[in-house]
Amino acid sequence: MAVKRTPFIAGNWKMNLDHLQSIAFVQKLAWALSDAKHDFADAEVAVFPPFTDLRSVQTLVAADALPIGYGAQDLSKHDSGAYTGEISGAFLKQLDCGYVIIGHSERRTLHAETDADVNAKVVAAHRHGLVPVLCVGETAEDLEQHGASAVPVAQLRAALDGVDVSKGLVVAYEPVWAIGSGQAATPAQAEQVAAALRAVLAEIAGEELASATRVLYGGSVKAANIASFLREPNVDGALVGGASLDIDEFSSIVRFKKHVGA
Ligand SMILES: O=C(CO)COP(=O)(O)O
């Protein structure tokens, strides 16, 4: 199990920052990263802006060869056709997106996405060469009734039904009760669920792919707590919501190495 996984710090902007604001933000982030070359050298950083920002972000990242990845917050399970308001994975690939968030709890609850929808979206992402950032997580009620791991593990199994994990996957464990609440899971809780998710990955895809797949923690991550999560052996990074909109806070999260052992 001594596989080295590149830490991944991902900013989910949700429905914030328009395309002009996205340009300013990514420019500032690039400056902050170049300032901190040593610290962040072995981490990967990506932002997940609204769809309408992606072309601007692409242009900026490509023009200056910025070391910043990006992706969308959702995609359609269909490739094209009469699906008003939907966005095809083909369009995202055209914009050089590397990743796409799938199954975020806000999509599952506010847009009634089922495990079957999430599974179809993972397959669609792979069809277009995008790496899914697959979100799983339990509600406060689930936690009380079934413990922390049961629901995320069931969601992972359902999402990966028939999926070829070798086509790329990042898993994000986001307890619903920790999202936007200011009450993050403890590092030990995150580690426990991340380890359970990795064990399921091993069962589904084999030890080698499981130990190469990054499992992130998300839910009230801030500069002040990022290092404590990243010290855990099975937590390989973070999916950051609110704190990814504040350039100082997000830059500080990305420079997490500074905090390790500090
Ligand atoms: O939902 C999240 C990221 O996808 C987490 O949001 P917060 O970091 O605002 O809790």
Confidence at 4, pLDDT banded by 50, 70, 90: confident
Q: Where does residue 183 fall: left (phi above 0), alpha (psi -120 to 50 degrees), or beta otherwise?
A: beta
Q: What is the DSSP string of 125-136?
A: HHHTTPEEEEEE
User: Residue 242 annotated as binding?
Assistant: yes
Ligand 1 atom with the smallest distance to the CA of 244 is 8
Centroid of ligand 1 to alpha carbon of 82 (angstroms): 32
Q: Which residues contact 28 (CB under 8 A, 6 or more apart)?
A: 247, 251
Residue range 57-65: mean pLDDT, rounded:
97
Task: State both tokens at 210.
Answer: 């499981």
User: Would you say the pTM of this structure is higher than 0.90?
Assistant: yes
User: Residue 12 annotated as binding?
Assistant: yes
Is residue 41 scored above 70 in pLDDT? no
Q: Which listed residue (44, 113, 174, 249) is catalytic?
A: 174
- CA-nearest of 152, 239, 146 to 195 is 152
Which tens digits make up the pLDDT trace of 188-206? Answer: 999 999 999 999 999 999 9
Confidence at 48, pLDDT banded by 50, 70, 90: very high
Confidence at 259, pLDDT banded by 50, 70, 90: very low
Active site residue 126: no
Report pLDDT for 3: 73
Q: Whose CA is nearest to atom 7 of ligand 1?
A: 241
Is residue 262 scored above 50 in pLDDT? no
Confidence at 39, pLDDT banded by 50, 70, 90: low
Pairing between β-strand 170-173 and β-strand 44-48 as defined by DSSP bridges: unpaired
The Cβ of residue 257 has, within 10 Å, a number of other Cβ atoms equal to 19
Which residues, listed in sequence order, are joined to residue 45 by a DSSP beta bridge? 9
Residue range 72-90: mean pLDDT, rounded:
98
Q: Where are the alpha helices (DSSP H) in the chain?
A: 19-35, 37-40, 54-63, 89-94, 105-110, 115-127, 140-146, 150-159, 187-205, 207-212, 226-230, 247-254
Centroid of ligand 1 to alpha carbon of 216 (angstroms): 12
Average pLDDT, whole number, for the chain? 94
Cβ burial, residue 169 (10 Å; 0-12/13-18/19+)? buried
Is residue 74 scored above 50 in pLDDT? yes
Alpha-carbon distance of 15 to 20, in angstroms, equals 14
Q: Distance of CA 82 to CAs 44, 111, 128, Å? A: 36, 19, 19
Ligand 1 atom with the smallest distance to the CA of 14 is 4
Ligand 1, pocket residues at CB < 6 Å: 12, 104, 174, 179-180, 218-221, 239-243
Q: Which residues contact 232 (CB under 8 A, 6 or more apart)?
A: 187, 188, 190, 191, 194
Which tens digits make up the pLDDT trace of 93-112? Answer: 999 999 999 999 999 999 99
Q: Which listed residue (104, 113, 232, 259) is catalytic?
A: 104
- CA-nearest of 47, 127, 52, 55 to 96 is 55
Is residue 37 scored above 60 in pLDDT? no
Is residue 10 scored above 50 in pLDDT? yes
Which tens digits make up the pLDDT trace of 140-189? Answer: 999 999 999 999 999 999 999 999 999 999 999 999 999 999 999 999 99
The answer to whether the complex's ipTM is over 0.95 is yes
User: Residue 11 annotated as binding?
Assistant: no
Report pLDDT for 143: 96
Active site residue 78: no
- CA-nearest of 75, 44, 26, 17 to 256 is 44
Ligand 1 atom with the smallest distance to the CA of 220 is 10
User: Residue 244 annotated as binding?
Assistant: no
Q: Whose CA is nearest to atom 6 of ligand 1?
A: 241
